Every structure is written in C-alpha cells, then in structure tokens.
C-alpha cells in the first residue's frame, strides 16, 4: 500500500510541471529582450587529436548577433519552444538595401532566467553583400531586429531601427549557431536550440 501511495505521489509531482507547461500561455511583452549586440567573430580554430594540424593564415569574419532575453511566467516553468526570427539590414555595393533573415527555434526555455540567443551570417554572404570577402566591418550593418514567436504569435522583440524588414522582402542568410563552426562553443551561455531538419 505504501509503495502504491508513493507511486501516486511521484506521478503527481512529476506531471505537475508538465501540466503547468501545457497550460502556460504567453502574450506580447511576456518575453523581455535587450537590444541586439552584433560584432565580427573570426572562424574558430579547433585542435583535434590524430589529425595533422593545418595553418589557417587568414581566418574569415562572421557576423555574430546576440540578444539577452527573459521569459516572464510562473517561477521555473518551462516554455517548450520559442522561435526567434532575426533580421539584418545592409546596403550592398550598389547602395541598394538588403535584408537577410533566418529563424532560431529555442526549446525548453526556463522562465525567470536571463539567457541568450545568437545567430550568424557567414563570411561568403557578407562578402557578396559588401564586396569585401576578406574582412567584415560591423559598421556595414545598418539595422538588426528580432521577433519572438510562441505558438505563431509574437510575444516579444527588439530592433535597432523600427521594423525595417517590412519595407523590403528579406532573403535567407541568417544562420543558427548549430549551422556554424561555433556550434560547440559557449553551450551553457545560450538557450538550447532545435537542430534544423535539413
């Protein structure tokens, strides 16, 4: 009888957070987001055993975009997923506006905890836009914005220059960390991201 009672109590305790997660609803403003921070980041140079080391004399520049965020809600509740849609605005070599976009889907986000999301633009994409394939200058970026979605509804966001992406159709080009050489770095800094199904 004691073991049956213990099993029932355990079931209630383990199912309670799951029930809270299913009942949780987020609305606009429930995800507080700081202004995006962006900078050039060199391709990381990893060392590996059992392979011959290779010199990389000119590591290339990636654009890294990072935002700090926090989800309001019941303490220590878990939000199953949040979709971060990144936008980056440039002017290309002809002076025409260009906007790149891409999604990062974070999973199992804990409420009430400050955490970070990050996205990247690859060196070749930056070179194609700016005309310089060797070095990237962060001042080439005219604007950065992020929209955050929960169940298809916007629940937060931030931008450095209004909704600049509404004036021109965005093109793909913003990558999640898992799609870059940075995938193995700073794992505990960033919210867990769902791997893209490519």
Is residue 118 within 8 A of residue 65, CB to CB? The reply is yes
The closest alpha carbon to 174, from 126, 140, 142, belongs to: 126
Q: Is the torsion defined by CA of 192, 173, 159, 66 positive or negative?
A: positive
pLDDT of residue 53: 82
Placement of tokens 């700073």 in the chain: 186
pLDDT of residue 197: 54
Q: Can you give the pLDDT of all 198 residues of the chain as single tens digits?
A: 555 444 444 444 444 454 444 457 898 899 999 999 999 999 998 888 888 888 888 889 999 999 999 999 888 899 999 999 999 999 999 999 999 999 999 999 999 999 999 999 999 999 999 999 989 999 999 999 999 999 999 999 999 999 999 999 999 999 999 999 999 999 999 999 998 654
pLDDT of residue 23: 52
What are 86's two structure tokens?
């990144």
Placement of tokens 């509804």 in the chain: 153
Distance of CA 12 to the CA centre of its chain: 34
What are 100's two structure tokens?
């790149």
Is residue 150 within 8 A of residue 26, CB to CB? The reply is yes
Is residue 162 within 8 A of residue 47, CB to CB? The reply is no
Which residues fall within 8 angstroms of residue 190, CB to CB, at 6 or more apart? 115, 116, 117, 118, 177
pLDDT of residue 12: 46
DSSP assignments along 18-57, one per residue? HHHHHH----TTSEEEPPPEEEEEEPP----TTS-----S
pLDDT of residue 25: 84
The closest alpha carbon to 72, from 113, 115, 112, belongs to: 112
Which domains, ranges and CATH numbers included, belong to the chain? 27-45+58-179 (2.60.40)
Residue 178 class from Cβ within 10 Å (0-12 exposed, 13-18 middle, 19+ buried)? middle
Distance of CA 162 to the CA centre of its chain: 19
């Amino acid at each position: 009888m004691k073991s049956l009672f213990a099993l029932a109590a355990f079931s209630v305790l383990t199912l309670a957070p799951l029930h809270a997660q299913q009942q949780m609803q987020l609305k606009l403003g429930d995800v507080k987001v700081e202004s995006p921070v962006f900078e050039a980041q060199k391709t990381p140079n990893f060392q590996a055993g059992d392979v011959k080391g290779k010199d990389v004399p000119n590591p290339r520049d990636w654009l890294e975009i990072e935002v700090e965020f926090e989800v309001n809600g019941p303490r220590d509740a878990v939000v199953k997923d949040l979709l971060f849609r990144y936008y980056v605005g440039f002017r290309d070599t002809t002076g025409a506006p260009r906007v790149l976009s891409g999604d990062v889907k974070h999973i199992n986000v804990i409420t009430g905890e400050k955490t970070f999301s990050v996205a990247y633009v690859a060196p070749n994409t930056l070179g194609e836009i700016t005309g310089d394939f060797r070095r990237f200058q962060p001042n080439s970026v005219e604007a950065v914005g992020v929209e955050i979605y929960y169940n298809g509804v916007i629940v937060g966001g931030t931008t450095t220059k209004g909704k600049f992406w509404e004036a021109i159709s965005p093109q793909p080009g913003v990558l999640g960390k898992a799609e870059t050489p940075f995938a193995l770095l700073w794992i505990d800094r960033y919210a867990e991201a769902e791997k893209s199904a490519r």
